[in-house]
Amino acid sequence: MAQTLQPTSSSSSVPQNLVLPESESETDPAYSISAFDEPQNPNQNLISTPTQTPTLLHLSFNQDYGCFAVGTDMGFRIYNCDPFREIFRRDFGMRGGIGLVQMLFRCNILALVGGGACPQYPINKVMIWDDHQSRCIGELSFRSEVKGVRLRRDRIVVVLVQKIFVYNFADLKLLHQIETIANPKGLCEVSHVSSPVVLVCPGLQKGQVRVEHYGSKRTKFIMAHDSRIACFSLTQDGRLLATASSKGTLVRIYNTLDGSLLQEVRRGADRAEIYSLAFSSTAQWLAVSSDKGTVHVFSLKVDSGLLANDLSRTTPDSSLSNPSAIPSLSFMKGVLPKYFSSEWSVAQFHLQEGLQHIVAFGHQKNVVVILGMDGSFYRCEFNPANGGEMNQLEYYNFLKPEQTF
């Protein structure tokens, strides 16, 4: 049974009875499953902490945004967000690059993929790491590079450039395969708190998003944008979807069940590369980061509780006819250019332009956590009543611990 990285009040955040198969005979040559049966020295792949500063290869939050994982050219690290502190690190040396790290809440089981100039593991394999044993206990192997991994308590989702595999977590049995348009960023999201799994991935057309509702066995295709999809995010329950295109000017909020457009907000007028989108836990706020160096927070007018009750009765027309779910100046659509009738952010935080940052909402009210590929960690507070620039509460550089403000 998997155990937690540190004491936690809920045992439901860990997978039960994780057993890897001793052998598998699969007909699809695109992948294979194997387990490590021979006893291994738990510390044989670990070395003493290197003195030089590692190069960052990957950043990702865990499912509840309380922790984040860091992949470097020397190994990986796990940090707690509030209070900020390093939970643990595993250093593999100069040839130990980890290009992808995915946590499962605060569980000791992680998914690792090699990366960088000298990867620790092949880039076409997902390694299942048990940190209590400090070793890999299984792997999923593919014929091409792994672009992304997503974990649920009951599922492992592996993203290749044009294909997605969905596995059962307990026995690594393949459950579903999905064909996608070219997906070099490894875009894919899954719900975490709902029992029926909701999965979102790119469709087969430019600008299209595919939504899989595994509980009802329904597939919904949403033509979200005219240009290619650059980024998207799901609420924890999988009911709301935020999407951004390669233009990076608009972010759209959709109902995942019927595909209806609920709201549209504007990041800016100039093209931008959207790095991340994040809903708050109540879906009251949406945070956006981009290469323009500004993190925006938008107010959402979608009542997630009402949406949950009315999903069965919602149609595209009725969703858009709800006055609280459309831009406040939409009655001027025929008069003013779309730019002037857009909804703008209520708060902003300015960072180094061009540097990749990802964003999430903290566990405290109106707090945003920002991670940068330079090792920066920011915790900021915004005041929705006053708007404007967010107040920086905390700053650390987790690659250079002496740099703290």
Q: Report yes or no on 173 lying in a domain.
A: no
Residue 142's SS3 state is strand
CATH code at 92? 2.40.10
Whole-prediction pTM: 0.80
Query: Is 351 among the domain residues?
Result: yes
Tell me whether residue 129 is in a domain: yes
Per-residue model confidence as pLDDT tens digits over 8-56: 333 333 333 344 433 333 334 344 444 333 333 333 444 444 467 899 9
pLDDT of residue 388: 83
pLDDT tens digit sequence for 63-91:
999 999 999 999 999 999 999 999 999 99
Instruction: Show the domain range for 369.
Output: 267-301+340-404
Residue 233 lies in a domain: no
Q: In what order do the strands lie in the sheet with 208-213?
A: 189-190, 198-202, 208-213, 218-223
Amino acid symbol at 316? P
Cα angle value 387/388/391 (rounded, 5°): 95
Cα 247 off chain centre by: 20
CATH at 281? 2.40.128
Q: CB of 138 within 8 A of CB of 36?
A: yes
- Look at residues 143, 177, 200 and tell me which one is the last residue of a structural domain: 143
259 within some domain: no
Residue 291 lies in a domain: yes
Question: 260 near 316, Cβ under 8 Å?
Answer: yes
Taking the C-alpha atoms of residue 87 and residue 117, their distance in angstroms, rounded to an integer, is 26
Domain count, the chain: 2
Which of 126, 143, 160 marks a domain boundary? 143
Is residue 385 situated within a structural domain? yes
Residue range 233-253, pLDDT digits in tens? 999 999 999 999 999 889 999
Low-confidence ranges of the chain (pLDDT < 50): 1-50, 306, 310-337, 339-340, 405
The residue out of 143, 172, 204 marking a domain boundary is: 143
